[in-house]
Structure 1
Amino acid sequence: MSKVGIKTATNMDDLNSVINECYNYLELSGCLRHITALTDKYMLVEDILVYHVIKRVQAPFESFKQGLKTLGVLEKIQMYPEAFCNILCHKPDSLSAKILKDLFTVHTLPNVPALGFWNSYLQNVEDGKSATTMEDILIFATGCNSIPPTGFKPAPSIECLHMDFPIGNKCNNCLALPITSTYKKFQENMDFAIRNTLRLEKEKRSHYNGH
């Protein structure tokens, strides 16, 4: 079943076809509704999201709450929420040059000059001497603006390729670095590619959500 297929349907025939394919799922999840216009697809997508994000986890969540009540923990959490926030809520660590350097596994020869440029680039970003931020680099390579509590799978990696600009492969968390003759060119190409890629992705999301 594909929610994307429902949202991107451009006519009633396509929409009804997708709904028929997913009929059993929609009926079991309580999302089946009578569709009379193409715009009804947005309500259907919202129903599916509510089911997955809220309704499907309601029973396990209530069970979890009952368990906390057993020893009076839930009452204490409700009385002192700020005190329990640091214990129960994950707060991402601030990204630094060292953290990003250690995060990425190098899948290339260690004597490639681009690796030295990469280390210098991270330090310049941390020092505010770049048009990008640590978060920009992580998003470009993995799609995440912080390191998940359980880490990445697969682990982020770096490779160096004979090309002018870097490439971020979010499917396998791989960052391909360009091989340039000077550090200045390396930084210019990194800044240009990362900033423009993130800008285009943001514009694309805004356009998609607006429709």
Structure 2
Amino acid sequence: MTSLVKKIKISSVIILKTGLHIGGTNSSLNIGGPDKFVVRNPLTNIPYIPGSSLKGKMRSLLELNEGTIHMDKGNFGPTKDTTTKAGALFGTIGDQQQPSRIIVRDAELISDLEEFNNTDLPYTESKTEVAIDRITARSNPRTFERVPAGARFRMEMILNVFDTDDEAKLVSSLKQALKLLEDDYLGGHGSRGYGQIGIEKLSFEERDRTYYAKN
């Protein structure tokens, strides 16, 4: 039977190099406000980066880099091959089911909140863009809410290593996915400059069975 050998806690800081937009729910009518809002903690109203956004982006980038994106009836989807880097790290579905080895936490904002005193929205900025119809030349202005460049978030992940796993391959794949993410973007509208990030203070802390046996 497969057994858990250790957990590796991965910690780092995400710093925004450009404004970040990860969409949330437009829960209220704000006349004159942004058309697209960012996701926020409903209790504190502070923006955060969902773990699902981080995990999904890292997986897709690793699959693109490997060339292992699965195609089924003309539709693209996650790889179903457990021998690929993405499959081994992020898990698979289908005939070869394997649970994800990586847990990605929501990343909370750790910047001093006083840094946002000059933003036009609470902890965020509004950015207006204009789409131009190429046929009629009619303009269509729209406003996006973004977490501004310079904001910092605490990122935490847990890597589960089982006795059947290649630990070195899992760690290497995770580091590769993080490097790819730095040279890509997080959230929406990356081709227009949004979502460039840097990853700092990356650390790995191993916790084996003896760690969890202690009272």
Task: Report the TM-score range of the alignment, normalised by the length of the smaller protein.
Answer: under 0.3
Q: Choose between structure 1 and 2 for higher RCO, CA contacts under 8 A separated by at least 6 residues.
A: 2
- The two structures have a TM-score, normalised by structure 2, of 0.22
Instruction: Identify the structure with the greater helix proportion.
Output: 1
Instruction: Identify the structure with the greater strand proportion.
Output: 2
